[in-house]
């Protein structure tokens, strides 16, 4: 099986090498990951019959809430959990190696933003900081250290704006959506030499509005031309980034594909709207093939747009294992 180091050496656009690595990882996880193995059995897919990337089934992301999606005999170094509103069950993602996770997020950041030391990273992640097990907080903490400047801010917007104004370096303001909206409404600060990057929905704190409208509100308030976005989740090891327009691009070891929301086993061609599936080869010790609950489309160049969420009534795959 392809080594961990080789995963991060995959060349951008090398489809043949990506498919070879994905098939090798599929054959391993189809045997070694119990929930994935059981899921394949229930949908009638034999591991040895899968001969191409398009034949690999994707595990419904809901199973991270009800099953231990893990395929290593040794205990994980950490267990990352998803944020969950009251009454919801969080997902749990056992992370065998924090070094692997750090390789993934550092590699993705460098691919899209270059050397972290040229940036200051300011993190406005209040709901994530108030709980344990956030992979986003872990990532931001290490990237802040790599940058050498910046920091976490809970609700102290005055200190955040004061520190950013004094900082001569190019800056990234990484914030959960509702906190950025709150900052925009209360202060409308015009930010200089700063990238504003949002990382997720309103988490039940604010109303959900179309992404284009939300980004326009932030652009007007902060005086920036575009809003960047980070696409990540507890169930993934890697992140995709949008540098404007809600169009995400993946690092070389990650890929998005589209499926029919009414038939999760039917793939869709480029440009058609459907459910988003993610292949994350850095999910080496869990499952690399994830059927998400996001809706969007994937273009011919591999970039993808997130348009919303799949209605729970339309998700057919997950009930095969959820008891």
Residue 92 is assigned to a structural domain of this protein = no
CA angle 242-151-143, nearest 5°?
50
Residue 167 is assigned to a structural domain of this protein = yes
Residue 91 is assigned to a structural domain of this protein = no
How are beta strands 247-249 and 304-309 bridged, if at all? Answer: antiparallel
127: left (phi over 0), alpha (psi -120 to 50) or beta: alpha
Is 70 exceeded by the pLDDT of residue 86? no
Q: Which of 231, 265, 281 is the last residue of a domain?
A: 231
* 120, 167 contact by CB (below 8 A): yes
Q: How far, in Å, CA of 142 to CA of 135, rounded?
A: 11
- The single residue listed with the structure tokens 């460098």 is 110
pLDDT of residue 179: 93
Residue 90 is assigned to a structural domain of this protein = no
Supply 118's token pair: 């040229």
Percent of the chain whose predicted confidence (pLDDT) is above 90: 82
Is 70 exceeded by the pLDDT of residue 202? no
113 and 210 together in one domain: yes
Residue 103's contacts (CB-CB under 8 Å, 6 or more residues apart) are 4, 8, 282
* 199, 143 contact by CB (below 8 A): no
pLDDT of residue 205: 62
**Radius of gyration, CA atoms only, the chain:** 19
pLDDT of residue 146: 98
Residue 242 is assigned to a structural domain of this protein = no
Is 80 exceeded by the pLDDT of residue 3? no
49 and 111 together in one domain: no
Q: How far, in Å, CA of 115 to CA of 266, rounded?
A: 40
226 and 105 together in one domain: yes
Residue 116 is assigned to a structural domain of this protein = yes
User: 88 falls in which pLDDT band (50, 70, 90)?
Assistant: confident
pLDDT of residue 312: 57
275 and 196 together in one domain: no
107 and 220 together in one domain: yes
Q: How far, in Å, CA of 266 to CA of 19, rounded?
A: 18
3-state secondary structure of 27: helix
Percent of the chain whose predicted confidence (pLDDT) is above 70: 93
Residue 215 is assigned to a structural domain of this protein = yes
* CATH number for position 295: 2.30.38.10
Structural domain for 185, as ranges: 100-231
Model confidence pLDDT, tens digit, residues 285-323: 999 999 999 999 999 999 999 998 886 533 433 344 443
Model confidence pLDDT, tens digit, residues 37-64: 999 999 999 999 999 999 999 999 999 9
> Count of domains in the chain?
2
User: What ranges make up the beta strands (E) of the chain?
Assistant: 59-60, 78-81, 92-95, 120-124, 150-153, 171-175, 194-198, 228-231, 240-242, 247-249, 254-260, 263-267, 274-280, 289-298, 304-309
Residue 89 is assigned to a structural domain of this protein = no
Is 60 exceeded by the pLDDT of residue 200? yes
Q: How far, in Å, CA of 98 to CA of 4, rounded?
A: 13
* CATH number for position 215: 3.40.50
User: 209 falls in which pLDDT band (50, 70, 90)?
Assistant: confident
Q: Which of 231, 263, 283 is the last residue of a domain?
A: 231
Q: How far, in Å, CA of 54 to CA of 47, rounded?
A: 13
137 and 175 together in one domain: yes
- DSSP per residue over 92-114, as a string? EEEES-HHHHHHHHHHHHHHHH-
């Amino acid at each position: 099986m392809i080594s961990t180091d080789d995963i991060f050496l995959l060349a951008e656009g090398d489809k043949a090498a990506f498919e070879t690595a994905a098939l090798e990882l599929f054959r391993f996880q189809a045997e070694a990951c119990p929930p994935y193995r059981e899921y394949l059995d229930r949908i009638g897919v034999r591991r040895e019959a899968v001969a191409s990337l398009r034949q690999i089934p994707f595990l419904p992301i809901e199973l991270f809430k009800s099953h231990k999606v893990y395929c290593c005999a040794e205990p994980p170094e950490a267990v990352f959990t998803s944020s969950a509103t009251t009454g919801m069950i969080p997902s749990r993602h056992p992370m065998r190696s924090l070094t692997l996770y750090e390789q993934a997020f550092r590699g993705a950041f460098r691919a899209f933003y270059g050397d972290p030391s040229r940036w200051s990273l300011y993190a406005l992640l209040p709901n994530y900081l108030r709980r344990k097990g956030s992979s986003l907080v872990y990532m931001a903490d290490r990237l802040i250290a790599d940058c050498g400047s910046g920091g976490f801010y809970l609700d102290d917007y005055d200190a955040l704006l004061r520190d950013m104004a004094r900082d001569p370096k190019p800056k990234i303001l990484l914030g959960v959506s509702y906190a950025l909206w709150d900052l925009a409404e209360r202060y409308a600060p015009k930010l200089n030499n700063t990238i504003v990057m949002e990382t997720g929905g309103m988490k039940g704190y604010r109303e959900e509005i179309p992404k284009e409208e939300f980004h326009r509100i932030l652009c007007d308030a902060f005086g920036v031309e575009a809003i960047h976005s980070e696409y990540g989740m507890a169930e993934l090891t890697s992140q995709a980034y949008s540098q404007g327009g809600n169009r995400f691009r993946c690092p070389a070891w990650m890929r998005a594909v589209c499926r029919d929301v009414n038939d999760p086993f039917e793939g869709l061609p480029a440009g058609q709207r459907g459910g988003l599936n993610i292949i994350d080869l850095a999910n080496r010790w869990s499952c690399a093939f994830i059927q998400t609950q996001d809706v969007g489309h994937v273009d011919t160049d591999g970039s993808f747009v997130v348009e919303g969420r799949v209605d729970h009534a339309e998700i057919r795959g997950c009930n095969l294992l959820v008891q």
